[in-house]
């Protein structure tokens, strides 16, 4: 009973036919879905972790709805700083908001795991916010699941990455970390937002970011004023695999992957250097 799910983030869709920073983000999402159909059609679900619409346009959410109709697995959604909650809920339905928090928060219980999705978007802000009632909600959802591993997915990274965008991460993460620390088995905290791939441990917890579907960025470590370049690849999704004692995050670059130069077939044969 292996859990498998896909995380996509930072789709930055425009209304159909419009480009975002010269990129056809609709076509990029279509490529991502092609990759899911080809490689992850057996996954349990896909999470879209925010920045769905580049500027929160209703027409972009309509376009998103059209494109993801082709997804072969269930889709769960939360929001990022580029999203506009009222426009999203108008198109996708008010049921996407949690009755208690009013945000696009959600719990998924599956195959011995609990996955908690948190909506860290806040109108008018680029950095992320979890309001007090969301922190209370998180405490309650964690307390219900002390007997099983938990994976948290939200748009904003809580941990600083030593890069330029550190000042727009999750604002005041202490309450968030404090809540997570009430659970004995947090397997991953997965975010998008920064448009780069990273892994970290911070305060004893494991954090991951994926590059997502839009442009990625170069960075200069610990030089927040240094110029950075926008790069058109990779288009990247994360693939999370969960067994009772192991949680793995793989990264699938569905755009600008590496060139294949050979195929390995047949059973694996182990050889030592001396025997080879």
What residues line the site for Fe ion (CB under 5 A)?
10, 51
Beta bridge partners of 219: none
Shortest separation between residue 193's beta carbon and Fe ion, angstroms: 6
Shortest separation between residue 136's beta carbon and Fe ion, angstroms: 27
Shortest separation between residue 149's beta carbon and Fe ion, angstroms: 28
Name which of 51 and 119 has its Cβ closer to Fe ion: 51
How far, in Å, CA of 91 to CA of 43, rounded?
Answer: 26
Name which of 10 and 252 has its Cβ closer to Fe ion: 10
How far, in Å, CA of 55 to CA of 57, rounded?
Answer: 5
Ranges of beta strands (E only) in 183-234 are 186-191, 198-202, 205-209, 216-217, 230-231
Shortest separation between residue 50's beta carbon and Fe ion, angstroms: 8
Name which of 192 and 242 has its Cβ closer to Fe ion: 192
| Rg, Å, the chain Cα set | 19
Name which of 121 and 134 has its Cβ closer to Fe ion: 121
Alpha-carbon distances, residue 87 vs 10, 14, 55, 59, 71 (angstroms): 17, 14, 10, 9, 22
The number of CA neighbours under 13 Å toward the Cβ of 198 is: 26
Shortest separation between residue 45's beta carbon and Fe ion, angstroms: 21
Those residues with Cβ within 8 angstroms of residue 209's Cβ, 6 or more apart along the chain or in another chain: 157, 161, 190, 191, 192, 193, 194, 196, 197, 198
Name which of 55 and 241 has its Cβ closer to Fe ion: 55
Shortest separation between residue 140's beta carbon and Fe ion, angstroms: 29
Name which of 188 and 209 has its Cβ closer to Fe ion: 209
Alpha-carbon distances, residue 2 vs 41, 106, 110, 112, 242 (angstroms): 14, 21, 10, 9, 6
């Amino acid at each position: 009973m292996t859990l498998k799910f896909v995380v996509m983030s930072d789709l930055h869709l425009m209304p159909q036919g419009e480009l975002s920073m010269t990129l056809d983000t609709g076509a990029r999402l279509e490529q991502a879905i092609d990759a899911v159909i080809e490689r992850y059609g057996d996954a349990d679900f896909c999470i879209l972790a925010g920045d769905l619409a580049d500027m929160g346009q209703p027409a972009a959410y309509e376009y998103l709805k059209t494109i993801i109709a082709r997804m072969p697995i269930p889709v769960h959604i939360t929001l990022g700083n580029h999203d506009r909650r009222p426009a999203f809920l108008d198109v996708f339905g008010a049921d996407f908001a949690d009755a208690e928090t009013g945000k696009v928060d959600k719990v998924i219980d599956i195959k011995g795991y609990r996955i908690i999705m948190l909506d860290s978007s806040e109108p008018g802000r680029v950095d992320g916010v979890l309001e007090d009632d969301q922190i209370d909600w998180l405490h309650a959802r964690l307390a219900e699941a002390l007997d099983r591993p938990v994976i948290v997915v939200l748009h904003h990274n809580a941990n600083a990455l030593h890069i330029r965008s550190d000042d727009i991460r999750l604002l005041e993460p202490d309450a968030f970390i404090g809540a997570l620390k009430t659970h004995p088995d947090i397997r991953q905290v997965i975010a998008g937002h920064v448009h780069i791939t990273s892994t970290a441990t911070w305060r004893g917890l494991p954090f991951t970011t994926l590059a997502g579907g839009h442009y990625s960025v170069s960075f200069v470590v610990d030089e927040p004023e240094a110029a950075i370049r926008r790069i058109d690849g990779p288009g990247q999704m994360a693939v999370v695999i969960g067994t009772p004692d192991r949680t793995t995050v793989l990264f699938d670059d569905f755009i600008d992957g590496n060139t294949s130069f050979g195929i390995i077939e047949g059973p694996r044969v182990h050889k030592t250097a001396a025997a080879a």
